[in-house]
Structure 1
Amino acid sequence: MALSLMRLGFRSVASKLERSAAILSNTSVQNQMKLIHSKVTCNGNVCYLQAFQDQRDIDLSEYAGALRRNYSKHHGRPEENRRKKESDSESDSDCDTECKGFDRSEFWRRKMRTVHNILDVDKDGLISFNDFLLFSERFKSLGHLDEQQAKEFTAIIKLTWEEQWGAIDPYNFVTVEQYLEDMHHVLNDKTLKKKAHRWLPYLFKAVDKDKSGFISVKEFKLFFRCLGLDNEHAAVAFAVIDVNGDGKLSLKEFVKLGKDFFTTEDESRVSKMFWGPLIDV
């Protein structure tokens, strides 16, 4: 009899503990969901991110990094698929390094940090899918893509995110170092490398205001405006990358420059100017 009562007592205590844990867990999840919530809002040619964040005594970078690592274990693209072993990877002929190990030059790393900063539209030090979406909305809001092109652009942006960084989720962030590592592996994987920047033609079409099939310096300024850069930088960059001096860039030239920026470590290549001035750190 005493033994039975003891068992009932233990079960009652255990049940209360489980209920308490469930309540605490649910509260924690709700608090985390309140912490990060954002959406894209566009008004004419201006797009911005409405964000509601409670940053009290929280290091967002560390918090997001921990959440991302934990989340990717269960929902993101498996690490063994995203991180190809060097023995299984292939490199294309337009990569002017051996593309093995993490021995890329500081010049290349500086370029990748520059792009990370551009894609980090809300400037919180992390790239999220919301940043990707906002980036595409800036170009679409110019109004030069037709309805079908705009839909394709959005679909490709979404697919690129999923293939490179996994599930679309508010907890899935990409830090600067993660971006450097991921881009290194993308360039080592022949399939991913070909797909990684397939959205470049849509950037060209979005700023080709007169639909001539060429971008003038004036239209290139639209491109830099969407990158969050000023006209002065656009004029300087265009003067450098317009190597034949005809005052215009074709779609082929534009895409080649955009891709070359990611693949080359040659500091003499004019493509280093494509995404604007390189950041210092």
Structure 2
Amino acid sequence: MQPLYELPTNLLDGAFTREHVPARLYYVIATFLRISSPRELHVASCLYPRQTRFTMANAFLVSKWKIWYKSLDVNHDGMISFADVEESRSKFSELHHLDEQKKKQVMDNFEKWWNEFIFRGKTGEISESEFVDMLNKDFTTDKAKFKKSMEKCFDILFDVIDTNKDRSISEDEFLIAFKAYGHENVALDTKFFKAYNPKDGLVPLREIVDSWISFATSEDSSKPDIVKTAFESGV
């Protein structure tokens, strides 16, 4: 992907003015870098050379990443932290009435999943902007690799949710998973599940996983998105 604009670096004569870039772009750059004068923008251009790429996923995909972030805020405190991990895995274990051995396995799997795909090496609280920036960096660096990562992410997550390992998700498994993640409107959660058109009360695991991969990776706003629609309805 080519950048919309590259800051010039041959500005040692200090003659750089707003005329070098479109007015709107000048103010976008200035706001982003917290600068106010042409001279400061010249200095910034030296700090951010031509090789730097200020690329971003399109607005449609970014909006879905923000939805995903909010869906992970289990305790609804406006931030993602280990408290959300603890609450989600504890609720999940309790709602499924797991024995101690199975509970420990689930607790460990939840923590590993959060650390690998959500925290991504960070500790403490993560803001929405930090979450989006982490995803965007990986996405714009290598889209194919990012998609593979999201395939692994949702394969692991829904394998945990599929507690009886029949490679399908029942309505009960679906509702418990969403309740564990702080989404306790049963009517909306049920509507979400029904959107997959279950057969005999079951949805193939692969179908649900694929819908979440699309949710996290697709920039195509012309295609229906079950996950996005559900969350926008209030799930």
Q: With structure 2 as the length reference, what TM-score do the two structures score?
A: 0.59
Aligned: 1:200 with 2:160: no
Query: In structure 2, what is the equivalent of residue 131 of structure 1?
Result: 84
Distance 1:196 1:182 in 2: 13
Paired residues for 1:1-281 under 5 Å: 101-102=55-56, 104-105=58-59, 107-141=60-94, 142-143=96-97, 146=102, 147-148=104-105, 150-161=107-118, 164-166=120-122, 168=123, 172-188=124-140, 189=142, 190-196=144-150, 198-229=152-183, 230-242=185-197, 247-267=201-221, 269-273=223-227, 276-278=230-232
**Which stretches of structure 1, 4 residues or more, deviate above 6 A after TM superposition?**
none
Letter in 2 for 1:183: L
Aligned length: 177
Letter in 2 for 1:236: K
Distance 2:88 2:106 in 1: 16
Structure with the greater alpha carbon radius of gyration: 1
Distance 1:275 1:132 in 2: 25
* Cα 1:185/1:136, change in 2 over 3 Å: farther
> How much has 1:263 moved relative to structure 2?
0.8
Deviation string, structure 1 residues 90-149 (Cα, Å, up to 9, x no partner): xxxxxxxxxx822512x3333222221121223222222332343344334434693545
> How much has 1:238 moved relative to structure 2?
2.0
Sequence identity, in percent?
22
Distance 1:192 1:265 in 2: 13
Which ranges in structure 1 are unaligned for 5 or more consecutive residues?
1-84, 87-99
Distance 2:145 2:219 in 1: 21
Distance 2:136 2:214 in 1: 14
Query: In structure 1, what is the equivalent of residue 9 of structure 2?
Result: none
SS of 1:215's equivalent in the other structure is: strand
Which ranges in structure 2 are unaligned for 5 or more consecutive residues?
1-51
Q: With structure 1 as the length reference, what TM-score do the two structures score?
A: 0.51
> How much has 1:256 moved relative to structure 2?
1.3
Contact 2:150-2:216 at 8 Å conserved across structures: no
Query: RMSD across aligned C-alpha pairs, in angstroms?
Result: 3.4
Distance 2:115 2:75 in 1: 18
